Chain A
Amino acid sequence: MVAMTTIGQLVFSGLLIGSIYALMSMGLTLIFGVLRVVNFAHGEFLMFAMYGAWAFVTYTGFNAYVACLAVVPAMLLYGALIHWIIIRPGLNKPHLVVVFATMGLSILMQNLALLVFSADLFDVPPLNAGRSITIGPFYAKLELLIGFGVTLLATAVIHVVLKSTYLGKAIRATVQDGEAAQLMGIPVPRIFLITFSAGSALVGLSACVMIPLFSVFPSVGLNFVLIAFVVVVLGGMGSLEGALLGGICIGVVQSLSGYYVAPAYGQMFFFILFLLVMVFRPAGLMGRRGEATLGMLD
């Protein structure tokens, strides 16, 4: 019986942390799904937003969830700026241009953060004095539960926007066939701009959820972007529901292997899982078949 509760608790914790991984990956998968580019600076976007949330909490005294009122619009604008400076000029060039340019952007952002904030770790005080709360037989941090709620809410909102608004319809048309969409009068460049900005805003939202749980430092993005890559590939790049499922899988795998094997090997497991998915089901769990093998080279 004890073993069962332990497993249950581990799966529950994994589910909660996994939902946060999912939230963090949604911007990446959304941008990939529509623009067909991988933003290698995604982790640094998150790092910037986490510094933003940290600064908001530290200087205003409100909690991190209030910070999203400032951080999300700021990241929306930042996304628009980066799209204007780097992504749009790179879109009509070979796809490697965007890969390398966003890698350059990640180096730039990481070292700007190092210049401004130094290599120190910053964090914000925990809610509820850091105590866990009890739900039935399980324990969980309040921050994780809120994160889980925010993820579900965000997924639902994006789902509704994509499925039942005019904008969502235009985005889906662009995904299906960019040229045809353009011919039907959909302003594809503007759809790209909106998607990239919205993806960045989502990063801002996840930063506010994450800052009470994780410290921020200039190279924090790398840890998270690697997880995000695994999550989106596992779920099927470009699929939101896939990202949710992928994130939760990763969270549960990490939580179980961390307990039963060794925490250090936890990451190795999900990279191996990633490679297995690539070998046997390259389109991911929810992606369209043939996605990973079809015409990505221009």
Chain B
Amino acid sequence: MTACIALVAIGPSQHMLDVILLSFMWAGLALAWNIAGGYAGLISLGHAAFFGIGAYTSSILTAKAGVTPWIGMWVGAVAAAVIGAILTLICARLRGPFFILSTLAAAEVVRIGALNWTSVTGGAEGLMILPTPSAMNMVFGSKTTYAMLMLIYMVVTYVVTKAIEGSRYGYYLFAIRDDEEAASAAGVNPLLARTGAMCTSAFLTAIGGSLFAQYFLFLDPTNVISPELSFQFALIPALGGLGTAIGPVLGAFVITPLSELLRSYFGGGAAGLHLAIYGAVLIIVMLYFPSGISGALMRHLTWKGDSAR
């Protein structure tokens, strides 16, 4: 935590700051996904829909109704949470691959909807956010402010995750994830607990979507609601360690700088090489360290794993 603030405060180069900022953002998003995927066992490949709903709601409210994104992002988050709840209730009976594929299909419905609802979303041409810096419009001139914003986002999702982990509710989720029948026999309502986890996760993901929109100042359906984005939300926590609070953060802080580094190292000459390496790393980690980086760290360097926090 202090290390993170120090990282921003030492005044790194603009490119470095970009990498740090994106790492914060991905860590926050991965943490948010992990609440549903890691803690409740709701493996979703549709989180890009929540992300997109967040990004679009705040941006559209700003563009069409002049509502500041500081308010708009909560509207988007609530909308995403409601959609998340509906999706969980609809898919309540589905398990394993069936649930996964349903979330993927639901996100595609949202993406194609956004692509064709041109009057509101701007369709494939996308939506621009006025780039005039103003605190009211959540548009800032300096990347440092954005970095602090993303850091706050990451810390908030981390605190929420930790709060869930230590609470009675967290134990309910673990119990349901590991053995639903036993949990419901013990008096836990699986449907309610699952829906709560998905709502929280969707809510936080949508907030991340709004922040993303305010940083990049441009959004179109292919960028903010793509299946690839959903895969990314799931893969970072999987790589870092599912169902742990530190895992998604580790995953984001390994993957984001690594892919930025590889991208700039190989440059335009070998487009795709950095992602090919990423894919290979992912296969190896999943097969040989199924509990992710954090699991591997905990196993071999328990004492270091503790002090690294």
Contact = CB atoms under 8 A, between A and B. Distances in A.
Contact of A262 (B116, B270, B290): B116
A278 B102 contact: yes
Judged by DSSP, the binding face of B is helix
A104 B204 CA distance: 25
Interface residues of B, number: 44
A108 B275 CA distance: 7
Judged by DSSP, the binding face of A is helix
A90 B286 contact: yes
Contacts of B234: 100, 103
B182 to A, nearest CB: 13
Range of interface residues on chain A? 35 or more
Interface string A108-137: 111111110011000000000000000000
A96 B272 CA distance: 26
A111 B228 CA distance: 13
Interface string A241-264: 000000000000000000000101
B111 to A, nearest CB: 9
A211 interface: no
A233 interface: yes
B108 A226 contact: yes
A101 B289 CA distance: 11
Contacts of A90: 286-287
Contacts of B11: none
B261 interface: no
A292 B272 contact: no
B115 interface: yes
B227 A222 contact: yes
Nearest to B266: A115
A251 to B, nearest CB: 17
A93 B306 CA distance: 27
Given A112-B276, A118-B271, A292 B98 contact: yes
A115 B270 CA distance: 6
B61 interface: no
Interface string B98-136: 101110111011001101100000000000000000000
A73 B177 CA distance: 42
B9 interface: no
Nearest to A89: B287
A295 B116 CA distance: 38
Closest 8 CB pairs of A and B: A296-B96, A108-B279, A104-B282, A114-B272, A107-B279, A111-B272, A111-B276, A111-B275
30 contacts: A38-B101, A90-B286, A95-B97, A96-B43, A99-B43, A100-B238, A103-B235, A104-B235, A104-B279, A104-B281, A107-B275, A107-B276, A110-B279, A111-B279, A115-B276, A218-B272, A226-B105, A262-B116, A264-B115, A268-B108, A268-B113, A268-B116, A274-B105, A275-B105, A275-B106, A278-B98, A278-B105, A292-B93, A292-B95, A297-B41
